[in-house]
Amino acid sequence: MDTLIYPICISFFMKLKWQRIVSILNGVVMGVGCGLSTHGRFRVVTERTKLSLLDDALNKVNTSDPAIISAVIDECSEQPPLKERTAYYRLLDIIDRCFSRKTIENVISALEMESMKGADAWIDEALHLMKKASPLILKVFLKSIREGRLQGLRQCLAQEYRISCHGLQVGQDTFEGYRAIFLRKDHTPNWKPSRLELVNDEMVDRYFSKMDDDEWVDLDLPVRSDLSTSIIAKL
């Protein structure tokens, strides 16, 4: 389980540190690296472009004061007009309308309705990926995201550790996905259960419970009450 604990602990302690940590997301960003970068104090997403020479501006800032660094980022960034009738607003409206549904089945049904209207290609791609994914893990992830909205970082990481441990020791879908994609590369995983309607609440809830192992313990991260809430992610 050490391979699960290390990235979780690193993420947590990055969040606790007061030193300047500037994460530059440019080009291809892989899973763990992307996850770690979001817990730095500042995150810059360039999408392979320079935004008003933001990186150059940050290089000239000789300070450890987060307020000053935030001011530099504000000068070099632009808030998309999501509340106006733009293409961004339309995408956000579809995302909210579809992904706010209570169950994965309802999310997929809502996306299918949007697809029938001739909406954007990303909807068909989202449907394709969701229908290929493990039915059980889809429901586990939805529950985790919904509960995570009401949890702090410490609780979210501890819950993520539980889910990961169950994925390795209880369910077979983690290994089946690895086999189908990386080993055999046949891209035809044999999920169990094979369909969403066969996944019940008990199966999902098990991923959020303590492991049935006398030697297993929950991830116990330190408590710190003086975390700054003044820095807002500019993603």
In whole angstroms, give the CA distance from residue 31 to residue 140.
19
Tell me, what's the pLDDT at 230? 43
Residue 91: inside a domain? yes
Looking only at the bridges linking them, the beta strands covering 22-25 and 42-45 are: parallel
Domain count, the chain: 3
Whether 138 and 219 map to the same domain: the answer is: yes
In whole angstroms, give the CA distance from residue 140 to residue 193.
13
Nearest to 5 by CA among 209, 165, 144, 141: 165
Whether 213 and 148 map to the same domain: the answer is: yes
Residue 200 tokens, joined? 């019940």
Could you state, in chain order, the average pLDDT of each consecutive group of 10 residues for the chain (235 residues)? 59 61 68 64 62 50 76 71 64 89 95 86 91 94 92 87 86 85 85 94 93 84 60 39
Tell me, what's the pLDDT at 208? 94
Tell me, what's the pLDDT at 174? 85
Whether 7 and 55 map to the same domain: the answer is: yes
Whether 33 and 102 map to the same domain: the answer is: no
Tell me, what's the pLDDT at 234? 39
The set of residues, in sequence order, having a beta carbon less than 8 Å from that of 134 and lying 6+ positions away, is 173, 176, 177, 189, 191
Residue 84: inside a domain? yes
Residue 234: inside a domain? no
Tell me, what's the pLDDT at 235? 33
Residue 74: inside a domain? no
Whether 140 and 210 map to the same domain: the answer is: yes
The set of residues, in sequence order, having a beta carbon less than 8 Å from that of 76 and lying 6+ positions away, is 51, 52, 53, 54, 57
Residue 70: inside a domain? no
Tell me, what's the pLDDT at 136? 95
Whether 138 and 218 map to the same domain: the answer is: yes
Tell me, what's the pLDDT at 44? 74
34, 62, 90: which is the final residue of a domain?
Answer: 62
Residue 192: inside a domain? yes
Q: What is the largest CA-CA distance in the chain?
A: 58
Containing structural domain, residue 125? 79-132
Tell me, what's the pLDDT at 151? 87
Residue 206: inside a domain? yes
Residue 71: inside a domain? no
